[in-house]
Amino acid sequence: MTEPTPHADPYALFTAWLAEAEAAEPNDPNAMCLATSTPDGFPSARMVLLKGLDPRGFVFFTNHGSRKGEQLFANPRAALNFHWKTLRRVVRVEGEVEQVSAAESDEYYATRPRLSRIGAWASRQSTHLESRAELEAAVAAAEARFPDAEVPRPPHWGGFRVLPRRIEFWRDMPFRLHDRRVFHLQADGGWTSETLYP
């Protein structure tokens, strides 16, 4: 099991932990809780999937008109929480948010199954749905609109990148004397770290 202490780079440590989670977790090791806030300060959280990671940050994709999309445009700050129950580990990420480039969104969108791409056109995510039949009709209309394999990315769908300022690694330890190490982003782009009381 990877220990937190040898790593000076939080991205290297996260990558190592994610690889272990991919080997141990039966479902969606890349699942993360995304927390945003409404313009008047109410917190809002939901589960999304991590779809990209590099030294710039953590990437996920969504409908820009969804509740989370609207909240991120109004207040481009977010927190992420990864909980790998099998490994008894948690990673917490806090930072500002930016949109990924159109090219990045196009590249990821092209890897999705065709029906998932159709669904991005059919779903008015987070708005009122009268019935399942209404959704199925919207899916059928999108399939008729794009009868071939090529389904372009909707203009309202794309990625966001969380740009971390703080990344905390938490490991379960006996008697609740847990191991906590937090990394802080510095003005020069480097990282410092400290250990926290459990």
Question: Can you tell me the mean pLDDT for 159-163?
Answer: 98
Of the listed 92, 165, 166, 176, which one is catalytic? 176
184: left (phi over 0), alpha (psi -120 to 50) or beta: beta
Q: Is the pLDDT of residue 2 over 60?
A: no
Neighbouring-strand partners of residue 183? 167, 193
Band (149; pLDDT cuts 50, 70, 90): confident
**Rounded Cα distance, 197 and 107, in Å:** 42
- Give the chain's end-to-end CA distance (angstroms, integer): 20
Q: Is the model's pLDDT at 7 over the cut of 80?
A: no
Q: Domain ranges in the chain?
A: 10-107+155-196, 111-152
Quote the pLDDT of residue 3.
Answer: 52
pLDDT in tens, 55-75: 999 999 999 999 999 999 999
* Class in CATH terms, 10-107+155-196: mainly beta
Q: What is the pLDDT of residues 104-141, one digit of tens each?
A: 999 999 999 999 999 999 999 999 999 999 999 999 99
- pLDDT (average), residues 36-42: 93
2, 24, 112: which is closest to 62 by C-alpha? 112
Q: How many CB atoms lie within 10 A of CB 189?
A: 7
Residue 21 to residue 128: CA distance in whole angstroms = 36
Taking only the tens place, the pLDDT of each residue in 167-185 is 999 999 999 999 999 999 9
In the numeric block, which tokens belong to residue 8?
A: 């000076």
User: What DSSP line would sit under 93-152, residue for residue?
Assistant: EEEEEEEPPHHHHHHHHTTS-HHHHHHHHH--TTS----HHHHHHHHHHHHHH--SS--P
Asked about 67 being catalytic, the answer comes back as no
